[in-house]
Amino acid sequence: MPTLDDIRQAARELEGRIHRTPMLTSSALNERFGADLVLKAELFQKTGSFKVRGLLTKLLRLSAAERERGVITVSAGNAAGALAWAARDAGVPATVVMAKTAVQAKIDAARGYGATVELVEGDLMAQYERIKDERS
């Protein structure tokens, strides 16, 4: 479990690399739930998702050998784009395995951020493992 110090360290590492997203409140929600709620508007983050925070933090902490080897994921959506963006920012080669039936905008986004996109059919995890093994 990350400590408060871990979170502060990650925030320092990400400073200037990602957006500082707004915190929003809603009196209607506060009244409904009887609490003071604060909403983090991560839809305004790079790639439109909170996922870049964790992925970029992880990539920045890779060893030189790990960075050179690159990263691979299987995703049809936000994680694909977030990994592609974070990998480009960190200077790490990225491959994203996606179903051939994935939404074209998600495919285009991952490619646009610089990832190699492998479109596959059938069992996605089996295809991911095959591609990962080929690149090891």
The pTM (predicted TM-score) of the whole model is: 0.90
Backbone angles phi, psi at 95, to 5 degrees: -120, 135
- Give the pLDDT of the chain (136 residues) as one tens digit per residue: 999 999 999 999 999 999 999 999 999 999 999 999 999 999 999 999 999 999 999 999 999 999 999 999 999 889 999 999 999 999 999 999 999 999 999 999 999 999 999 999 999 999 999 999 998 7
Of the candidates 41, 8, 10, which has an alpha carbon nearest to the alpha carbon of residue 26? 41
Domain residue ranges in the chain: 4-135
Which CATH code fits 4-135? Answer: 3.40.50.1100
Could you give the C-alpha distances from 96 to 5, 41, 88, 106, 112, in angstroms and in order?
32, 26, 13, 11, 12
